[in-house]
């Protein structure tokens, strides 16, 4: 059940990140989920730096940090893609 939860949060965070960051992002649905999952890990790492629990904990700020992490991951993805 936790894998399904991770994929659902990843999808939501990925979709929100793509809506927040302007510009075209031609991605498949699975790439959006992957963006959100990566964002969840980045957000969990950011949260653990500020003492908001462990990196693997699901807490009240989890979705917010997941979206922030997905935005960061999307910006990094665009920078890498632009160079190639």
Query: Domain ranges in the chain?
Result: 2-83
pTM of the predicted model as reported, rounded to 2 decimal places: 0.78
DSSP 3-state assignment of 28? coil
- For residue 9, CA distances in Å to 43, 46, 83 come to 12, 17, 29
**pLDDT by residue (tens digit) across 22-66?**
888 788 888 888 888 888 888 777 777 776 555 555 555 678 888
pLDDT recorded at residue 46: 76
């Amino acid at each position: 059940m936790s894998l399904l939860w991770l994929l659902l949060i990843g999808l939501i965070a990925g979709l929100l990140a793509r809506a927040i960051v302007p510009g075209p992002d031609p991605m498949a649905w699975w790439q959006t989920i992957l963006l959100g999952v990566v964002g969840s890990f980045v957000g969990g790492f950011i949260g653990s730096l500020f003492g908001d629990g462990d990196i693997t904990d699901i807490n009240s700020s989890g979705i917010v940090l997941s979206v922030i992490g997905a935005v960061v991951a999307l910006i990094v993805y665009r920078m890498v893609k632009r160079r190639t």
